Amino acid sequence: MTIKEIQTAIGTTPDGIWGNQSIHALRVALSKGVVIPITANITLNELLASQTATRYNIDNMPNAQVLANLIESAVNLWQPARDILGHPIFITSGYRCPTLNRRIGGAKNSAHLHGYAIDFSCPAFGNTRAVVKHLADEFKKRGIKFDQCILEYPQSPNSWVHLGYKRSDGVQRGQVFRIG
């Protein structure tokens, strides 16, 4: 998926320039329920969705660089992760604009701010502990580069996996660890 393809999907001029006209068209398309696929199983809709942003009227629209990062991350890591798991993933957090990130108490250097991270679960595969172990093993075996695969709060019934493609400086550390 390219910016031009997204522009076509949202009904604006497909010129490859992501500016105010495209952002407005994206807002309109999302409000009408237009589904905007980035990969076979990941949509821009789910990467931008936020109940907190809606509740507090926070504009969570990506700029051109963040949109490019979301596409790159979805193509190179998140879709491969979904393929490895063989079941739908449920993305609970994708891109977060700075205002949204502050509102939810996100890290000041969060990869979510740059469109490089998602939080998700995959209940059809198993618990989050099993998801992280399987992804870490398969990423290593297949040579898939990533920044972080974090098991977050595994004792909680609302546990999730944080999957980061890279840091804002482009570094991919291949870190696997647990928080909480």
Residues 133-177 pLDDT 10s: 999 999 999 999 999 999 999 999 999 999 999 988 889 999 999
**Segments of the chain with pLDDT less than 50:** none
pLDDT of res. 130? 98
52/19 Cα distance (integer angstroms): 24
The model carries a pTM of: 0.94
Kindly state the tokens that stand for 78.
């998140």
Could you tell me the domains of the chain? 1-36 (no CATH), 44-179 (3.30.1380.10)
pLDDT of res. 168? 81
Any residues with CB less than 8 A from the CB of 43 and at least 6 apart, and which?
35, 36, 37
